[in-house]
């Protein structure tokens, strides 16, 4: 297979949703149908100690949630698939946003009973702003939910995007028995078994008037299906791949990830329609996936995926050129040459060594602390710089300190690692050595950080909430004593040694702006902000 053919067969996508819509379960079932696993374990099947393959952290298994982005790779129908399973919990939106920088398309999972929810709306906006094509999977249709036409209206009204159902549920709401493939004009009736979704479903397929279909569907349901299809043909949007690519139309699929209902038809059609690796924006212009010069960026850093070795993995998205094991590349941020040794590809915690990788692929490389999230690596002769990642302003702050001074060394190492991952934001105070100030988007980030420090670094910590909700940086290099109105602010410094002002609320932040009209205040660090001034 030629290099160009290898690039074109890549499909790199993220699965996004509101918590509990079934995102991680769908991820696992795609692996089941892709042959990457042979027995699916329900996320909530704790009695049998089986958990979602993509949830590798112990706290995820205990809570039945995803709080880290997992990278999963396998082959199916001639495609090399890179799935990025993102955190569903709102407190980990920043990790999800970074992950979305590394994909070419996204699958949006919607709960049939709840429709478009708050977190779905936020994630959709990120995809929309980045021009990422979105495919919709309406999940849990084995339960009673909204009418499919109402879901289409919901998507348009809330997200502002039209939808085109690629298939349609057959049966009565809450008791659907199959799906109708509109393009191929085929009915697929699912035969229920006692495997509870752990194995592939058996299917009866045929045209709408075939005897084997009529034998499994009542005349009333068959007529209802025909009426729905007629309405869709007359009033619905026709499928238009260009509109999908430019983000004004989302192909819509119905199914149930828990019971495997409609999963395989969705997977096959999605892989047919989803884009191969796309061009990327750099400060110097554009990078094409077919460009021979190697380029990639770091979108995630994860420490302690293997707790026995306390390793640190930098996940990189290859954007151009062919990666080969052991290659030396330019680290754009430091200007140093680094050797990419021991490259890995992943099926959750299972790893394989990579000899060669292509644009669209996600690989993990062992990192000694040189790389950071958003960093560029490329060929020295053809340097490029990928655009900066968005940064979330922290909304919660706390003081963290080790319970025992004997554990200070482990405490410092753990805080440093978690800060480099981007899991939390860490600030220091002048002359305060025994504690740090930490900032987070949500409370669960504090809980996960405490859990990881205890389990990965053997450090018990005290976390004391602070009465601040707003952080402000200054564009100019201004000393605190030169400002007016910082009486209620805590003055700290971030990892880049920039001064940060922590304030109780937005009103106090506004007061600071009014009292210092000659200073430009920012709600994210200066080097990452081009607008968004306050």
Binding residues for GTP: 17-24, 85-89
Report d(CA 465, CA 122) in Å as an integer: 27
Instruction: Locate 41 and state its tokens.
Output: 């374990």
Q: What is the DSSP letter of 48?
A: G
Report d(CA 470, CA 490) in Å as an integer: 11
At which residue do the structure tokens 């099947």 appear? 45
Helix, strand, coil abundance in the chain, percent, nearest 5: 25, 30, 40
Q: Write out the E strands in 140-216.
A: 162-165, 167-172, 175-181, 186-191, 202-206
Q: Minimal CA–CA distance to 236: which of 124, 151, 345, 351?
A: 151
Measured CA distances, 316 to 83, 289, 347, 379 (Å)? 14, 15, 16, 15
At which residue do the structure tokens 């057959």 appear? 170
Q: Detail the residues annotated as belonging to a binding site.
A: 17-24, 85-89
Measured CA distances, 236 to 111, 145, 251, 252 (Å)? 21, 21, 12, 12
Say which residues have a Cβ less than 8 Å from residue 438's Cβ, sequence separation at least 6.
397, 398, 399, 400, 415, 424, 425, 426, 427, 446, 449, 463
CB 163 within 8 A of CB 247: no
Q: Minimal CA–CA distance to 511: which of 480, 476, 486?
A: 486
Report d(CA 87, CA 24) in Å as an integer: 9
> Angle 354-357-362 (CA atoms, 0-180°, nearest 5)?
85
Helix axes 408-421, 443-456, angle to 10 degrees: 130
Instruction: Locate 336 and state its tokens.
Output: 């140093």
Say which residues have a Cβ less than 8 Å from residue 301's Cβ, sequence separation at least 6.
312, 313, 314, 315, 367, 371, 372, 373, 420, 421, 422
CB 173 within 8 A of CB 147: yes
Q: How far apart are the two ends of the chain, measured CA to CA in Å? A: 53
Measured CA distances, 178 to 188, 222, 524 (Å)? 5, 11, 49
Strands 186-191 and 175-181: antiparallel
CB 437 within 8 A of CB 425: no
Segment holding 353, helix H or strand E: strand 350-353
At which residue do the structure tokens 């752990």 appear? 198
CB 11 within 8 A of CB 81: yes
Phi-psi region of 24 (alpha: psi -120 to 50; beta: other; left: phi over 0): alpha
């Amino acid at each position: 297979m030629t290099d160009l053919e290898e690039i074109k067969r890549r499909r790199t996508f993220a699965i996004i949703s509101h918590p509990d819509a079934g995102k991680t379960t769908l991820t696992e079932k795609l692996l089941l149908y892709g042959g990457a696993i042979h027995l699916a374990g329900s996320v909530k099947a704790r009695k049998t100690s089986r958990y979602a393959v993509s949830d590798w952290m112990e706290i995820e298994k205990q809570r039945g949630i995803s709080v880290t982005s997992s990278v999963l790779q396998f082959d199916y129908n001639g495609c090399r698939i890179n799935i990025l399973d993102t955190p569903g919990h709102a407190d980990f939106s920043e990790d999800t946003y970074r992950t979305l920088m590394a994909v070419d398309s996204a699958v949006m999972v919607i709960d049939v009973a709840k429709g478009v929810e708050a977190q779905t709306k936020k994630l959709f906006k990120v995809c929309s702003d980045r021009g990422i094509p979105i495919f919709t999977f309406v999940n849990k249709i084995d339960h009673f939910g909204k009418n499919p036409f109402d879901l289409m209206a919901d998507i348009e009204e809330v997200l502002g995007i039209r939808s085109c159902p690629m298939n349609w549920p057959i049966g009565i709401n809450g008791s659907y028995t199959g799906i109708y493939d509109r393009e191929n004009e085929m009915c697929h009736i699912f035969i229920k078994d006692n495997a509870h979704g752990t194995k592939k479903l058996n299917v009866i397929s045929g045209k709408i008037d075939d005897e084997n279909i009529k034998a499994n569907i009542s005349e009333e349901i068959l007529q209802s299906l025909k009426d729905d299809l007629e309405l869709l043909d007359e009033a619905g949007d026709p499928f238009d791949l260009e509109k999908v690519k430019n983000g004004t139309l989302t192909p819509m699929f119905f199914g149930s990830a828990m019971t495997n209902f409609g999963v395989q038809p969705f997977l096959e059609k999605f892989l047919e329609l989803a884009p191969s690796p796309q061009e990327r924006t750099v400060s110097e212009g554009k990078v094409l996936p077919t460009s021979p010069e190697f380029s990639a960026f770091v979108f995630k850093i994860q420490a302690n995926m293997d707790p026995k070795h306390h390793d640190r993995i930098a996940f990189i998205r290859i954007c151009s050129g062919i990666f080969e094991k052991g290659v030396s590349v330019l680290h754009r941020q430091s200007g140093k040459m680094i050797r990419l040794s021991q490259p890995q590809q992943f099926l959750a915690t299972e790893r394989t060594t990579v000899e060669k990788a292509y644009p669209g692929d996600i690989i993990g490389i062992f990192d000694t602390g040189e790389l950071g999230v958003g960093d560029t690596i490329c060929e020295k002769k053809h340097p490029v710089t990928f655009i900066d990642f968005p940064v979330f302003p922290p909304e919660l702050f706390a003081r963290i300190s080790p319970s025992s001074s004997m554990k200070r060394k482990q405490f410092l190492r753990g805080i440093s690692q978690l800060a480099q991952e981007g899991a939390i934001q860490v600030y220091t105070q002048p002359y305060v050595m025994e504690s740090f100030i930490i900032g987070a988007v949500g409370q669960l980030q504090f809980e996960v950080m405490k859990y990881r420090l205890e389990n990965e670094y053997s450090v018990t910590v005290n976390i004391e909430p602070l009465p601040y909700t707003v952080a402000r940086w200054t564009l100019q290099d201004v000393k605190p004593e030169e400002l007016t109105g910082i009486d209620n602010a805590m003055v700290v410094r971030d990892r880049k040694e920039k001064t940060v002002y922590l304030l109780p609320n937005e009103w106090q932040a506004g007061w600071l702006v009014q009292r210092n009209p000659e200073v430009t205040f920012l709600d994210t660090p200066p080097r990452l902000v081009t607008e968004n001034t306050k």
